[in-house]
Structure 1
Amino acid sequence: MTIKNDQTYILKTLDGDTNSFAFLVEKYKVMVYSLATKMLNNREEAEEVSQDTFIKAYKNLSKFKGDSKFSTWLYKIAYRNCLDAIKKNEKKYVTDVIDEITENKVRSTDNVLEQITKRERNDLLKQCLHKLPEQERSILWMFYFDELSLKEIKEVTELTESNIKVTLHRARKRLVSIINTNVKSELINYGS
C-alpha cells in the first residue's frame, strides 16, 4: 500500500504537482533527519543535510526506477550526503583496538548498565556510538535503530552482504569494548 501510495505521489510530482512532493517530504522528513543526526551528531549539519537530501531527491526523481522502495532510495541519498558532510568536516572518530570480547565481559557490561538511569544510559550509549568509525556506526544504526534489512543496507551502502555482516560483527564487538571503558570511567566519576 505504501509503495503504491508513494508511486502515486512520485508520478504526480513528475507531472508538475509540487504539492505531491511536499507530501513525500512530510512523510519521510523524520527518517532523513534522524539518520543525519545520528551520523553527524550535529543538529545544524543534520538540518542542512536533510534539506539537501530532499533537493537532490526532487531533482533526480525521474531517475527513481521503482526497483526498491522510495524510502530506501531516499535513505541512500541521505546516507551519501552524510558521508560527504563528514568528509568535508574531516571529523576523526576514535577507533579503539578491539579486545577479545568474552561472554563474561558482555555480562559485566550489562550489569554496570543496569546501575545507570535510563536517560544517562541513552546519553552514554550515544556518546559511545559516536566513538565508532563512521561506517560501523551508520551500519549499526541502520540495522538496529532504523531496522533496515541487510538487503536495504546493501542497497544504501553498496557493500556486499558479507561485508555488512562482518562490519556489524566488528561494530558490536568494538561498541562493547567502548562501553566497557566508558561506563567504568563514568561510574568511577559518578561515585566520586
Structure 2
Amino acid sequence: MTTNDQVYIEAILNGDANAFTVLVDRYKDLVYTLSLRMMKHTEEAEEAAQDTFIKAYKSLNKFKGDSKFSTWIYRVAYNTCLDRLKKNKRQQYTVEINEYTEHQVKTLDNALDQIEAKEKEQTIQNCLALLPSDDSFLLTLYYFEELSLEEIAKVVGLKPNNVKVKLFRSRKKLATILKKNLDNDIIDSYERTYRAAFR
C-alpha cells in the first residue's frame, strides 16, 4: 500500500468523506474490470463495482493495513461479485480442459511473449471473457496486476498453495481457449524449439 492510500484512509476515518473520491478514482477501473471478469455483463459489473465501493466505505474501519489497500478492495470486489452470482444463480461458463502438461502451458506463455504487448493484452482479454468467473478473476490478478501468490491468496481467501493449484487449472483453461485463437505457427515454432532444446 502506498503511504498515499493510508493518508486518504485516515482522512476518511476522521470524517473527510471527500477523501474517498480519491480512492474511488484510483481503483475504479480495476474494480470494474475485475467485476466484469466475474459478472460477464457490463451493467451488472457496474452495479457490482458501485456496491464494492459502498461496502468498502462502510467497512473502512475494518481495514487493518496488514495488506495493501488494493488487495483489500479487490477482496471486497470478489466477495461482492460472488454474492451477486449466488443470488442470480446464473449458469456459469464451463471450459473443457484438455490434458495440457506444464510444458505446454509454458509454451503458450512463450508464444504470447512473441506477440506485440498491446495485441497480447487484447488476445488475453478476449479469451478471459470466455472463461468461468473465478478463473477469469484469478488470471486478471495474475497477468495484469502481477500479484504474488500470497497477495492473490489474501484476495480470494485461500492458502497460497491452493491458489497455485487453481491458477494452474485456470491457465490450462486459458491455454485451451488461446490455442483456438492464437496463430498456430507461433505455437508450433515454440513447441519445436522446446523439443529441440530438450533432446
Counterparts of 2:51 and 2:12, CA distance in 1 = 18
1:28 has 2:31 as partner: no
The match for 1:164 is 163
Q: Equivalent residue of 1:18, what SS?
A: coil
Q: Equivalent residue of 2:2, what SS?
A: helix
Q: CA deviation at 1:86?
A: 2.4
CA distance 1:26–1:129, shift in 2 (3 Å): closer
Counterparts of 2:52 and 2:144, CA distance in 1 = 20
What code does the residue aligned with 1:84 have? D
1:14 has 2:35 as partner: no
Where do 1:62-81 residues align within 5 Å?
62-81=61-80
Counterparts of 1:135 and 1:177, CA distance in 2 = 16
Q: CA deviation at 1:53?
A: 0.7
Q: CA deviation at 1:3?
A: 2.7
1:141 has 2:109 as partner: no
TM-score by length of 2: 0.76
Q: Please identify, of 94-103 and 33-42, the stretch whose mean Cα deviation from structure 2 is larger.
A: 94-103
What code does the residue aligned with 2:133 have? E
What code does the residue aligned with 2:158 have? L
Q: CA deviation at 1:65?
A: 0.9
The match for 1:55 is 54
**Number of residue pairs matched?**
179
The match for 2:45 is 46
Q: Equivalent residue of 2:29, what SS?
A: helix
Q: Please identify, of 140-149 and 79-88, the stretch whose mean Cα deviation from structure 2 is larger.
A: 79-88
Q: CA deviation at 1:41?
A: 2.3
The match for 2:93 is 93
Q: CA deviation at 1:38?
A: 2.4
The match for 1:187 is none
What code does the residue aligned with 2:97 have? V
Counterparts of 1:143 and 1:100, CA distance in 2 = 19
Structure 2 regions of 5+ residues with no counterpart? 184-199
What code does the residue aligned with 1:99 have? E
Q: CA deviation at 1:127?
A: 4.4
CA distance 1:91–1:168, shift in 2 (3 Å): same
Q: Contact between 1:33 and 1:47, CA under 8 Å: does it hold in 2?
A: yes
Q: Please identify, of 78-87 and 130-139, the stretch whose mean Cα deviation from structure 2 is larger.
A: 130-139
* Post-superposition CA distance 1:109-166 (Å, at most 9, x none): 949x97xxx76x7666444323333222211111111221111101011111111111
Q: Contact between 1:93 and 1:130, CA under 8 Å: does it hold in 2?
A: no
TM-score by length of 1: 0.78
Q: Contact between 2:74 and 2:155, CA under 8 Å: does it hold in 1?
A: yes
